[in-house]
Amino acid sequence: MYGGVDLSGTLRLQPTIFGTPVFQRDIPLGALHREGKPAGGGSPS
């Protein structure tokens, strides 16, 4: 049995002056992919 995790996302930068957005920029963050056996996944003997 194996388990895995996939994460990805973006960081949104949106400075405002008096509540008015000056500009908006999305900065992509790197993807994270991990896979492995879950802890304690063995069969008891």
pLDDT bucket at 22, cuts 50 / 70 / 90: very high
Domain extent at residue 13? 3-33
Residue 4 is classified by DSSP as E
Start-to-end C-alpha separation, the chain: 17
Mean pLDDT over the full length of the chain: 82
Q: What total number of domains does the chain contain?
A: 1
Please check whether residue 8 lies inside any domain of the structure: yes
Please check whether residue 27 lies inside any domain of the structure: yes
Please check whether residue 15 lies inside any domain of the structure: yes
Q: How far is CA 31 from the centre of its chain?
A: 7
Query: Residues 30, 32, 36, CA angle at the centre, nearest 5°?
Result: 165
pTM greater than 0.85 (yes/no)? no
Q: What mean pLDDT comes out for the span 8-31?
A: 89
pLDDT at residue 6, as a whole number: 83
Please check whether residue 7 lies inside any domain of the structure: yes
Tokens of 44: 């008891």
Please check whether residue 22 lies inside any domain of the structure: yes
